[in-house]
Amino acid sequence: MLSVLRVHLPSDIPIVGCELTPYVVLRFPDGNITADDVPESAPVDGYYLRCKWYRKQNDRRIAVCSIHPTELATLQCLGCIKAKLPVAKSYHCSSRCFFDAWQHHRALHDRAANAVNENGTEEEELFGRFNSSSSGVVNTGLSGSGSTPLYSGSVSEKGSGETWFEVGRSKTYTPSAEDIGQVLKFECLTVDAETRIPIGPASTIFTSRVIPAPTPTPRRLIPVGGADIMGHFDSDGRTASGTFTVLSEIYSYCPTWALSWQYRRQNLLREIVGYHADILCLQEVQSNHFEEFFAPELDKHGYQALYKKRTSEVYAGNPNSIDGCATFFAETAAQSLTDAVIPTGQKKAALGRLIKDNVALIVVLEAKFSNHGSDTPGKRQLLCVANTHVNVHHELKDVKLWQVHTLLKGLEKIAVSADIPMLVCGDFNSLPGSASHALLARGKVDQMHPELVVDPLGILRPATKLTHQLPLVSAYSSFARMVGGSMGLGQQRSRMDLKTNEPLFTNCTRDFTGTLDYIFYTADSLTVESLLELLDEESLRKDTALPSPEWSSDHIALLAEFQCMPRTRQ
């Protein structure tokens, strides 16, 4: 007879929108053990496994704490309600919780007030309008000021005569907003396929209370080109009138449930799709995650994809866990593809040092929008996009610089053969002021730069060769160069390092805070119209780092809107 040996949940904290799949171990009649499903449609030796999900019946809707989502809320901040912030952010589990979070919480109120002052109305922010995870939390309609008690006491988890409501009849279940604050129960048992009579007792497992998907602070596009940003979007949220957007993002310090792939993938997808970028440059994407999740899910949103794994000369593990770069594009057509820029003819000894799991994916796209403002109507508008992850140990600065130089020389060859705008995006694992950053931003490296001292293979000599002719400029340097402007633009300049004209940080962990990620563009053919606002450290939840429940990547997404410049006649 088919029997259940064990039932286990990878995480006992369910989250709205994230699929729950229990791990069920079965023993077949012949003694073999498996974790495969045995559905009614494919019984084994006359038996199958029946699975059901239940929600504990409760007459009262339950809200959870915005800071500690596994705790019930007992207080609600009425300032959030008046400011029309997402209601889920107004709940707290205790007065101490509210007090400890006040500095960050007050920033949410100030932000809402600034949005009204700058725009006259509360603007619909890019990421916030696509995040509906707070819809299941009921506004209690309390009046007054400050914080107001929400519950007189806690809800009993168990007791005699409790009622369970069936919500699913399959092995997997995806919690909805109606489940927030409630306990779920999974039940499975063996059933005789002929008589449909259960055999033996049911195996049951309970979850903790369902929590809403945390809502990160919305990030706006800040105009830097003098145009009204809201006028650039068409009916599906993507840019129109000849502009396009590019997003660059990479894939512990937070609860274990927030590190589970089932949660992180949905949170990442929600963030990525919410930005409505025309071009997505993703780094550190595992091959199986690309094939099984990102490619099919982003295809539903109209994106085509190209993917390249890292080189694996120094890797000897599960091939599915080797990551790489993925470039997705919408409203454009792929014209050609240049594969990873990896030099040939190197000595075997040198390869062991130089080929350190590097990857660069170069794609040439053809725009589908017309050439607005161009003096050559009908001419094809091409765009070259390089997406890279320079994954080199921090001590191998010579290798890092060599890889960046090799990539730029490959792009130069494309530039010589075609008059084409270029974007260079990715995680370069290089701080502003490093030799790699200098080469990208200034086109050359000072011959006295300290990082040129270590060069055991002689790959950086002579130093005069470390140049390129591409007119590359960092997109986010626009924040530092702008003079005057709105209050929002001034706030962004305060989040920039004015010595390097780069953000203060794009990567924030408990051991490191700094800028490693960049979007470079060719300034003779593209102009920056707007940039996704930068986060400050106060925007990240107190006493945490990345990844966190709100932000599932340890790097902050960068997004820029560009306009192709009209080409002058030769």
Topology match between the domains 3-57+163-210 and 238-564? no
Question: Looking at residue 346, what is its pLDDT?
Answer: 43
367-373-375 Cα angle (round to 5): 95
Tell me the helix, strand and coil percentages in the chain, rounded to 5: 25, 30, 45
Question: Looking at residue 428, what is its pLDDT?
Answer: 94
CATH architecture of 238-564: 4-Layer Sandwich (3.60)
Strands (E), 183-331: 183-192, 198-209, 221-223, 243-250, 279-286, 304-309, 323-329
In eight-state DSSP terms, residue 117 is H
Question: Looking at residue 359, what is its pLDDT?
Answer: 75
Distance between CA atoms of 525 and 232, rounded to whole angstroms?
Answer: 19
> Do the Cβ atoms of 122 and 84 come closer than 8 Å?
yes
Distance between CA atoms of 294 and 316, rounded to whole angstroms?
Answer: 25
Among the residue ranges 131-140, 229-238, 419-428, the one predicted with the least confidence is: 131-140
* The pLDDT of residue 158 is above 50: no
Backbone CA torsion sign across 535, 540, 545, 547: negative
Q: Facing residues of 34 across strands?
A: 26
* The pLDDT of residue 349 is above 60: no
Distance between CA atoms of 108 and 536, rounded to whole angstroms?
Answer: 13
Confidence band for 149, pLDDT divided at 50, 70 and 90: low
| Each residue's pLDDT tens digit, 255-288 | 777 778 888 888 899 889 988 899 999 998 999 9
pTM of the model: 0.72
Q: Using alpha carbons, select from 355, 354, 284 the residue that is nearest to residue 313.
A: 355
* The pLDDT of residue 7 is above 80: yes
Q: What percent of the chain has pLDDT over 90?
A: 36
> Do the Cβ atoms of 31 and 227 come closer than 8 Å?
no
Is the CATH number 3.40.50.620 carried by domain 3-57+163-210? no
Domain boundaries, the chain: 3-57+163-210, 238-564
Cβ-based burial of 149 (10 A; exposed 0-12, middle 13-18, buried ≥19): exposed
* The pLDDT of residue 509 is above 60: yes
Q: Using alpha carbons, select from 421, 458, 428, 460 the residue that is nearest to residue 444.
A: 460
501-504-505 Cα angle (round to 5): 125
Q: Which of 52-66, 74-88, 317-331, 435-449 is the most confident on average?
A: 435-449
Mean pLDDT value across residues 92-118: 77
Confidence band for 227, pLDDT divided at 50, 70 and 90: very low
Check residues 339 and 91 and name the one with the higher pLDDT.
91
| Mean per-residue pLDDT over the chain, rounded | 79
Mean pLDDT value across residues 516-530: 95
Q: Which of 70-74, 210-214, 445-449 is the most confident on average?
A: 445-449
Q: What percent of the chain has pLDDT over 70?
A: 75
Side chain identity at residue 491, one-letter code: Q
* The pLDDT of residue 338 is above 50: no
Q: Which of 17-21, 48-52, 330-334, 504-508 is the most confident on average?
A: 48-52
Check residues 259 and 31 and name the one with the higher pLDDT.
31
Confidence band for 155, pLDDT divided at 50, 70 and 90: very low
Question: Looking at residue 86, what is its pLDDT?
Answer: 77
Confidence band for 518, pLDDT divided at 50, 70 and 90: very high
Question: Looking at residue 195, what is its pLDDT?
Answer: 94
Confidence band for 447, pLDDT divided at 50, 70 and 90: very high
Q: Which of 67-71, 252-256, 304-308 is the most confident on average?
A: 304-308
